[in-house]
Amino acid sequence: MAEQFDMVIIGGGPGGYNAAIRASQLGLKAACVEMRDNKRFGGTCLNVGCIPSKALLHASELYEAAHKDFESLGIGFTSLKLQLDKMLAQKEAAVKGLTDGIDYLFKKNKITSLYGRGEISAPGLVTVHGLDGTKIDLACKNIIIATGSDVMPLPGVEIDETRIISSTGALALSSVPKHMVVIGGGVIGLELGSVWRRLGAKVTVVEYLDRILPPMDGEVSKQFQRILKKQGMVFKTSTKVTGVEKLKSKLKVSVEPAKGGDSETFDADVVLVAIGRRPFTAGLGLEAVGVKTDKRGVIETQNFATNVPGIWAIGDCIEGPMLAHKAEEDAVACVELIAGKPGHVNYDLVPNVVYTYPEVSSVGKTEEELKQAGIAYKSGKFPFAANSRAKTNHETDGFIKVLADAETDRILGVHMVGVGVSEMIAEAVAVMEFGGASEDIARTCHAHPTRSEALRQAAMGVEGWTMQM
């Protein structure tokens, strides 16, 4: 007889584990199934995504600062050496600490965790194909699919995770390549490209479109590209990779202009394929139970409900930004809806962050989106070069831009490039969540000297009264 649950969640990433915890808080008996063979919950984010990448970004940033900036701060030392094995080990320790934390939360919330591939045998029935070859049936009132996403492959460029790598391989290289070619100037390419550049690699980013971070505000992506170029990253925009030939001692990368034209080749030791991610739903049994997906494999949902009653989906495998915090929002709203509560996600206010040096963050509409929608807006901008804290710390690259409705002053978008802006964007999100105006930020007291004063000064700029520039 199959054990009976209120909810079985397939996938233990930020979508799945948060759904399980919220379900338990609401008095629902929940099980969460995860098929990673390391038997660790946390999904892409904790195992091979957000957390290990941030661990390497943090360590490599300090390494580069020690190398390039400490001397000017009066910190002298006789020798500096990179110990890559130790750097990778502290990354693994961060991953272990946080994935152990999920085990603790599952125990605390009395969530049943199962290791194996979850397959929907029928609505209300999940079969877990255990890593040890066993099979267990779980009966439930509701199934939540939280199976996440996987690397988007590039035809003709086969990933082997040693020389031609995805983000997963880029988190575990055992030596610093001489030349890393990154295909795709998006978030992964720029974050992991930054890690290896700081550790000593030459990094060339090949981007199909005419600018990096294409969904970001145009001014942000332009300035940011200039900053990264100054740091030594090489960009080939409006360019496509047509093939990578594997020779014994090197890779030959062929590129040509995106619109067609003469091709050129260059050598690389490592090629990182980072052209996006796609929903992961293989082996779930979606076709058999009739759950609809679109052409791209995205599970079709309405308020997280699929077309099959009792089967829900959240996170990277449904529409929307592929971000851990979005998956978490989906999880809470979906479980609350199942529990008869009014679950809701405001997708207009999901912040975006790129954890490079400096960082990039944004929320709401870009100038391009406002223009295209014909919305009249006012803009206020403030450079970190005029912010006292940034100047004191010699961290003056970047700016903050606040976009507000021309008539009502309601904030429509906030865009930031600068050190520490991953934390600062939360203020903008909170004010926008309350429907706030630029004046609300402009007339809020901000501590001095902080970088957050730059947000206040940018907000003041919307009404033309920036004072410190």
By CB under 6 A, name the binding residues for ligand NAI.
154, 183-189, 191, 206-209, 214, 240-241, 274-277, 321-323, 353-355
Pick one of 94, 138, 228, 284: the residue that binds ligand FAD (CB under 6 A).
284
Q: Judged by CB under 6 A, does residue 102 bind ligand FAD?
A: no
Q: Judged by CB under 6 A, does residue 272 bind ligand FAD?
A: no
449 touches 393 (CB < 8 A): no
Shortest Cβ 33–ligand FAD spacing (Å): 5
Segment 215-219 long-range contacts (CB within 8 Å, at least 24 positions apart): 215/352, 215/366, 216/352, 216/360, 216/362, 216/366, 216/415, 217/362, 217/366, 217/367, 217/368, 217/401, 217/413, 217/415, 218/366, 218/367, 218/368, 219/367, 219/401, 219/415
Q: Judged by CB under 6 A, does residue 140 bind ligand FAD?
A: no
CB neighbours of residue 207 within 10 Å: 25
Distance CA(39)–CA(144), nearest Å, equals: 20
Shortest Cβ 221–ligand NAI spacing (Å): 9
Q: Judged by CB under 6 A, does residue 458 bind ligand FAD?
A: no
Shortest Cβ 163–ligand NAI spacing (Å): 18
214 contacts which partner out of ligand FAD, ligand NAI, none, CB within 5 to 8 A by kind? Answer: ligand NAI
Cα 429 from chain centroid (whole Å): 17
Shortest Cβ 73–ligand FAD spacing (Å): 28
Question: Which range touches ligand FAD (CB under 6 A), out of 28-36, 134-142, 240-248, 410-418?
Answer: 28-36
Which of 28/195 has CB closer to ligand NAI? Answer: 195
Which of 44/239 has CB closer to ligand FAD? Answer: 44
25 touches 326 (CB < 8 A): no
Burial class (CB in 10 A: 0-12, 13-18, 19+), 435: exposed
173 contacts which partner out of ligand FAD, ligand NAI, none, CB within 5 to 8 A by kind? Answer: none
Q: How far apart are the first and last CA of the chain?
A: 72
> Omega of the bond prior to 257 within 30 degrees of 0, cis?
no
Q: Judged by CB under 6 A, does residue 153 bind ligand FAD?
A: no
Shortest Cβ 185–ligand NAI spacing (Å): 5
Closest Cα partner for 173 from 193, 148, 156?
193
Which of 22/277 has CB closer to ligand NAI? Answer: 277
Which of 236/325 has CB closer to ligand FAD? Answer: 325
Structure tokens at 339: 């529990």
Shortest Cβ 98–ligand NAI spacing (Å): 16
Q: Phi then psi for 227, rounded to 5 degrees? A: -65, -45
Closest Cα partner for 386 from 375, 405, 399, 376?
399
Shortest Cβ 224–ligand NAI spacing (Å): 13
218 touches 366 (CB < 8 A): yes
Residue 315, classed as helix, strand or coil, is: helix
Distance CA(90)–CA(87), nearest Å, equals: 5
34 contacts which partner out of ligand FAD, ligand NAI, none, CB within 5 to 8 A by kind? Answer: ligand FAD
Which of 422/452 has CB closer to ligand FAD? Answer: 422
Q: Judged by CB under 6 A, does residue 33 bind ligand FAD?
A: yes
Pick one of 97, 283, 290, 435: the residue that binds ligand FAD (CB under 6 A).
283
Count of CA atoms in the C-beta half-sphere (13 A) of 428: 34
Q: Is 344 a catalytic residue?
A: no
Active-site option among 179, 394, 446, 448? 448
The residue nearest ligand NAI at its CB is 186
Distance CA(92)–CA(216), nearest Å, equals: 31
Task: For residue 265, give the H/E element and its range.
Answer: strand 264-268
Shortest Cβ 31–ligand NAI spacing (Å): 27
Binding mask 37-76 for ligand FAD (x = CB under 6 A): ------xxx---xx--x-----------------------
Pick one of 22, 91, 117, 451: the residue that binds ligand FAD (CB under 6 A).
117
Task: For residue 333, give the H/E element and its range.
Answer: helix 324-338
Q: Judged by CB under 6 A, does residue 325 bind ligand FAD?
A: yes
Please say whether the dihedral angle defined by the alpha carbons of residues 113, 331, 337 and 9, taken in this order, is positive or negative.
negative
Residues that bind ligand FAD (CB under 6 A): 10-16, 33-36, 43-45, 49-50, 53, 117-118, 146-149, 167, 188, 280, 283-284, 315-316, 322-325, 327, 355
- Positions marked catalytic: 448
